[in-house]
């Protein structure tokens, strides 16, 4: 039976009852729910064979995203420190375990619930089904080469490999990105979705990425304080601008006028505030997008 589990094949319907058909291949019988369609005894049906959580041999015509020899993203649904993580590949009554042997040594870098892993399936000698991670060769085979026109673009991707030299991700458009440890505040975990910007393109088409904000996107403590004042005002405004007196600014914010002006300049450059008629106004999100 091992060679049938986790694979897609045609089986013959040999029997039925009120709720299920019974599909046979190589002398092994699997249960197919009648909710999946109307079939006849003697008909050949294509589907996927597996053993569910209740140790039942099942057959489904709703072929999952991942199976033996075929890789696709699955969603992490749970973890167990002594075993690994469990991945949803699209079956209603079975999640696939990914062994801790394939996970990072540091458990804080393990995938969390909702993270995505590109997996296939394997079956061990005890006929247990496991998820298995796609190799680097698989990701490179799937990927496209980046180009210099992508410089400074923001991109999203899912972490697929953690190394001492840095982190590798695959973007939504199938570009491979590399994040050097100096270009991140913390190490992303396996399967995490991250957003970065392109800071270079390697000769092999891999994108060099940074997860750090651009310098003008960094909000200083002074700017954050001003935003807090604005957010807590019912009219989303304060009667202070870069024309206000140093004494008034000092009395209200406990910073110098120079600090105040630099903070205002940063916020205006980011489109977070405007100044008008002696007031500084918070730019609401929908207004900023117009």
CATH fold for the domain made of 8-60:
OB fold (Dihydrolipoamide Acetyltransferase, E2P) (2.40.50)
**Domain-by-domain residue ranges, the chain?**
8-60, 72-134, 143-210, 218-288
By the 8 A CB rule, do 50 and 68 touch?
no
The CATH H-level (homologous superfamily) assignment of domain 72-134 is Nucleic acid-binding proteins (2.40.50.140)
Looking at residue 290, its pLDDT comes to 38
Q: With 0.75 as the threshold, say if the pTM is over it.
A: no
In a structure prediction context, what are the per-residue pLDDT tens digits for the chain, which is 290 residues long? 899 999 999 999 999 999 999 999 999 999 999 999 999 999 999 999 999 999 999 999 999 999 999 999 999 999 999 999 999 999 999 999 999 999 999 999 999 999 999 999 999 999 999 999 999 999 999 999 999 899 889 999 999 999 999 999 999 999 999 999 999 989 999 999 999 999 999 999 999 999 987 654 556 788 888 988 998 999 999 999 999 999 999 999 888 999 899 889 888 888 889 999 999 999 875 443 43
Looking at residue 75, its pLDDT comes to 98
Q: What is the CATH number of domain 218-288?
A: 1.10.10.10
Looking at residue 288, its pLDDT comes to 39
Token pair recorded at residue 181:
């440890």
Same fold, 72-134 and 218-288: no
On whether the 143-210 domain is CATH 2.20.25.90, my answer is no
Looking at residue 28, its pLDDT comes to 96
């Amino acid at each position: 039976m091992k060679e049938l589990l986790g694979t897609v094949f045609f089986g013959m319907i040999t029997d039925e009852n009120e709720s299920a058909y019974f599909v046979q291949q190589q002398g092994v019988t699997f249960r197919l729910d009648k909710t999946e369609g109307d079939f006849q005894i003697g008909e050949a049906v294509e589907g996927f064979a597996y053993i569910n959580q209740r140790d039942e041999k099942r057959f489904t015509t709703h072929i999952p995203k991942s199976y033996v020899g075929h890789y696709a993203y699955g969603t992490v649904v749970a973890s167990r420190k002594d075993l690994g993580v469990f991945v949803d590949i699209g079956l209603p009554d079975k999640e696939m375990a990914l062994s801790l042997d394939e996970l990072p040594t540091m458990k804080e870098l393990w995938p969390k619930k909702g993270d995505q892993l590109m997996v296939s399936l394997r079956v061990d000698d005890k006929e247990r089904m496991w998820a298995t991670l796609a190799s680097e060769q698989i990701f490179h085979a799937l990927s496209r080469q980046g180009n210099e026109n992508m410089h400074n673009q923001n991109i999203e991707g899912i972490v697929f490999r953690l190394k001492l030299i840095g982190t590798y991700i695959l973007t939504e458009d199938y570009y491979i990105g590399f994040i050097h440890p100096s270009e991140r505040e913390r190490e992303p975990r396996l399967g995490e979705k991250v957003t970065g910007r392109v800071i270079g393109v390697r000769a092999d088409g891999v994108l060099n990425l940074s997860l750090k904000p651009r310098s003008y996107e960094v909000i200083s403590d002074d700017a954050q304080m001003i935003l807090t004042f604005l957010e807590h005002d019912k009219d989303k405004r304060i009667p202070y601008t870069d024309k206000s007196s140093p004494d008034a600014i000092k009395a209200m914010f406990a910073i110098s006028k120079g600090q105040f002006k630099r903070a205002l300049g940063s916020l205006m450059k980011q489109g977070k505030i405007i100044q008008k008629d002696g007031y500084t106004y918070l730019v609401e999100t929908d207004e900023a997008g117009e």
